[in-house]
Amino acid sequence: MTFAEQDGINLFIPKVYDIVWSLIILLVIAVFFYKFFMPKFQAVFDERTAKIEGGIAKAEQAQKDAAEAKAKYEAQLSTARVEAAKIRDDARAEASHIVADARARAEADAAQITANAQRSLKSQQQQAMVSLKGEVGALATALAGKILGAKLEDSAVQSSMIDSMLDDLDAKK
């Protein structure tokens, strides 16, 4: 191993062909990394980041849409509720109105019917009274004629007799 001591220094002396090959190889590798390897992986990284960020954005958008839809729905629901209450109130008011109307009309009708009835009753009573008066007169005349049997044909006597009789009747009553 004596030659090793002499050769040791040669380890640290670059050889020309070694330099040539080192440079060629490094150039090839560097071109590969600069032109292909790094851009390719960078593209993959970028695409992945974009996808992830896009996904997050999409999720956020969806959440926002959902919240908007919910708010809209709730607003619609509350207006619907208010409207329903209003309709109910209106209906109730109208119903009481109708009832009041009907009652008033019925009362009016009833009053009219009552009035009519009373009126017709009164007229019938009068008619009855008039006809009664006539019939009673005739009856009494016939009766008196039969009783007196004679000269009561004269109308003046007849009428005065009836009147006096009626007066008697009235007075008796």
Partner 1 sequence: MNDALFSGLTLAADGPEFPTVDDFLLPQIIFPGTPFAMDRIIMVRIIATAIMLVVLGVSAARAKLIPGRWQGAVEWVIEFVRDQIVYQVMGKERGRRYLPMITTMFFTILVFNLCGIIPGFNIAATATITMPLVFAGWCFVQYWVAGAREKGLGHFLKEELFPRGVPAPIYILLTPIQLLELLVIRPVSLTLRLFANMVAGHITVAVCLAATQWFLIEIPNKLWSILGIGTFAAGLVMTLFEILVAALQAFIFAMLTTAYINMSYPETE
Residues at the interface with partner 1 (CB under 8 A): 1, 3-4, 7-8, 10-23, 25-26, 28-30, 32-34, 36-38, 40-41, 44-45, 47-48, 51
Q: Compare residues 28 and 142 and give the one whose CB is closer to partner 1.
A: 28
Residue that has been written with the tokens 């009519």 in this structure: 116
- Closest CB 14 distance from partner 1, rounded Å: 4
Looking at residue 146, its amino acid is K
Q: How far apart are CA 173 and CA 167, in angstroms?
A: 10
The gap from C-alpha 122 to its chain's centroid, in whole angstroms, comes to: 55
- Closest CB 2 distance from partner 1, rounded Å: 11
With beta carbons less than 8 A apart as the criterion, state whether 129 and 121 touch: no
Q: Compare residues 23 and 93 and give the one whose CB is closer to partner 1.
A: 23
DSSP three-state, residue 13: coil
Residue that has been written with the tokens 């996904």 in this structure: 55
Q: Compare residues 13 and 150 and give the one whose CB is closer to partner 1.
A: 13
Q: Compare residues 29 and 84 and give the one whose CB is closer to partner 1.
A: 29
With beta carbons less than 8 A apart as the criterion, state whether 137 and 162 touch: yes
Name 158's Cβ contacts closer than 8 Å, sequence gap at least 6: 141, 152
- Closest CB 57 distance from partner 1, rounded Å: 17
- Closest CB 56 distance from partner 1, rounded Å: 16
Q: Compare residues 56 and 66 and give the one whose CB is closer to partner 1.
A: 56
- Closest CB 66 distance from partner 1, rounded Å: 28
